[in-house]
Amino acid sequence: MKKQFSQRLFDQNDENARHAVERLRHYFGIDEFRDSKNVYTIDREGFRSGNHVLNVEVEVKHNWSQGTTEFPFRTIHLPQRKEKYFDLDKPTYFVIFSSDLKGAIVFSDRTVKEYATLKEVPNKFVAEGELFYDVPLPHTAWLKL
């Protein structure tokens, strides 16, 4: 079982997160982000000197309200449904913003494959049966924006 798509949550978060990731161009060493050509795939593609070099999937975590304060958990949960972004032709980075968009946790698909464990995590959207990659915080980067 997995969380059903919510147009309300998408409308509330997607554009803000796509815009906020622009502030991380220097961190990723890229010249620009572009939206993916297909809205059902990766959120943003990073380009350096006109070449597509990386992918970025963005999300907002509302249980982390102030990004200038430390992430309040020892691990971060990445929904199993995001594994479709592992092993693309370019590396994928996951950028998880705080709800105020002043902080971000960043990690790669490689980090998930090497260090995360897949486990069921009950949550407010799905009481049981939804699987998440449990990524240890020490294998991520916390960026204050």
CATH number at residue 22: 3.40.1350
Each residue's pLDDT tens digit, 25-64? 999 999 999 998 876 789 999 999 999 999 999 999 988 9
Q: State how beta strands 131-136 and 75-79 pair.
A: antiparallel
Which residue range is the domain that position 74 belongs to? 7-144
**Cα–Cα separations (whole angstroms), residue 81 to 22, 58, 72, 130, 132:** 25, 14, 23, 9, 8
Higher pLDDT: 91 or 13? It is 91
Task: Please report which helix (H) or strand (E) contains residue 68, including its range.
Answer: none
d(CA 105, CA 96): 5
* Gap between the Cα atoms of 64 and 99, Å rounded: 6
CA dist 58 and 65 (Å) reads 16
Query: Into how many domains does the chain fold?
Result: 1
Residue 138 falls within a domain, yes or no? Answer: yes
- Asked if residue 34 is part of any domain, the answer here is yes
In a domain, 1, yes or no: no
Q: Model-level pTM?
A: 0.89
**pLDDT for res 13:** 64
- Stronger pLDDT, 20 or 11, i.e. the higher one: 20
**The token pair that represents 98 in the structure block:** 């705080």
Q: What is the pLDDT of residues 79-120, one digit of tens each?
A: 999 999 999 999 999 999 999 999 999 999 999 999 999 998
- For residue 2, being part of any structural domain is answered with no
Tell me which amino acid residue 114 is. Answer: E
Q: DSSP string of 38-67?
A: STTS-SEEEEETTEEEEEEEEEEETT---T
For residue 99, how many other CB atoms are within 10 A of its CB? 17
- pLDDT for 3: 56
What's the confidence (pLDDT) of residue 53? 98
Instruction: Give the model's pLDDT for residue 127.
Output: 45
